[in-house]
Structure 1
Amino acid sequence: MSPSVYRENGFKFFFFSNEEERMHVHIVGHDGEAKFWIAPEIALAKSYNLSVKELSKLEKSVEEHKDEIIAAWQKHFG
């Protein structure tokens, strides 16, 4: 199960249910994907086939939606 948090500009922001405990969000889009840590601070964990410009935009989106991501994480994982 992979609950979706939100979608933006062709990217899906979501969680995998059975994964590590550290708070993070996965992002999948047109031709690439990324994973950002949320805590203790927002940071890129890994990426595949995304430009620096795209990663910068995604990081900004994660920062703007941080409260929403945290609330969805807490609701899903308890």
Structure 2
Amino acid sequence: MPTIFKQNGFRFFFYSNDHLPKHVHIEKSGKTAKFFLNPIQLVVSKKFSASELREIRILIEDNLNLIVSSWDEYFNKS
């Protein structure tokens, strides 16, 4: 599970066998979520509050280039 970055206690990552469309997984304290990246859209959330999901969305927006380039680098390597 490659970690892209950690911020405010959230870990943003993807699984080594992930699939399209591009997306990111988030976890914190036993809570999990998954967001599609284009457009940024919540797919599933387990136990995150609405305010935490808003914070996650902002962190994704602020780090979108990093997340997408990390995905491309990891999954497009030969």
* Cα deviations by residue, 1:13-71 (Å, 9 ceiling, x for unpaired): 000011222100000001311101002x1010100001000000000100100000011
Tell me, which stretches of 5 or more residues in structure 2 are unaligned?
A: none
SS in 2 for 1:27: strand
Tell me, which stretches of 5 or more residues in structure 1 are unaligned?
A: none
RMSD: 0.8
Give 1 or 2: higher strand fraction.
2
Equivalenced residue count is: 76
Of 60, 63, 67, the residue aligned with 2:61 is 63
